[in-house]
Structure 1
Amino acid sequence: MEILIVGSIIVALMVWASTRIKRDAAAAYNEEAIEADGFKLTKPEGFIHLLNDDSGLAFRANSKDFGLGDAAEKYQATITVERHDGKDTDSIAAAIKESASGAADEEKFVEQDRKNIRIDLTVIEDGVNVRRHVRLVGTDAATFELRADVLDDMAEGYSEKIENLIASFEVK
């Protein structure tokens, strides 16, 4: 009889722990305000922030879902922030535009007394068309590059999230 009671308690604890883990894992994909060294942004819902990342990027997040067909091993969307020390926005923008597989849309503007460049283009990665949305923000010491890559076939479903992300990006 005691074994049955102990077994029931163990099962109840396992169910409680499993439910809590599932709830916490689902919360990782919620919209979230991210404040990091030198910048802040709002991570859209459906993306997970990769912590303890050894890529050298200041920020990286991936969508929950993968692509289809030839893009089955690629995330539907990825977000990165990279800090370029000692580089100006124009030289980084020129390098980005060289990677375009077609025409690139470019908009230059000033926000908070800082030079900004917004670039939207299509690139081909591993034979898959990817829409790349970039915002460059220059400071005296560095240029910050926010980049959102979305599989071309999935771009429509992510357009509002990407626009909100780009609008939320602020360099301190």
Structure 2
Amino acid sequence: MVVIVRSAVAQVVAGGPGEGRLQVPTRPVAAVLSLVLVGAASVACVPQVPFAPIAVRLDDSGGVEILDTECEPRPVARVEVIAPDRDTVVDDSDPRLWRVDFAPASTARTYVVGEAPAGGEEVVGWRAPRPDQRLFAQVVAEGGMTFGTGFSLGELAGGKVRFRLEYLTHEEFLEESKC
């Protein structure tokens, strides 16, 4: 007994028990495969950063430190702490609690909030938030690419470090941030 089923995508030809094969028209498959390969190649060519290379912690005196954990130093044009609205993404309308601009760009790895690093101009002086207030540390690289992470001062207590969307111990952070 032979059964032939036709469709726009495939044609199945079956013979006796255990016999059969799937025939697929080559032009539609080739077109779909081409689109998939072009899409995959496009994604592969775009740099993918799974997590921002930024960490935030409290120093020994309780001050906030923003750490650039990128293995290769990058020129930084601006560093800031933002108090975002709860209902929106971080944008230019959110209040800045601290901001430093650099001209020329900085290649420092650590920024202490409330202190203007060498070569930096403190545009917004540090305004302390509530301990439970959600904050966002943002580093703007020369050229405009931004990196940042959300945190709160209360969650940094006890030596915790905000890195890769988690609060880590100092030891865990040292292990996770290795180049």
* TM-score using structure 2 length: 0.29
**TM-score (normalised: structure 1):** 0.29
Structure number, greater radius of gyration: 2
More helix by share: 1
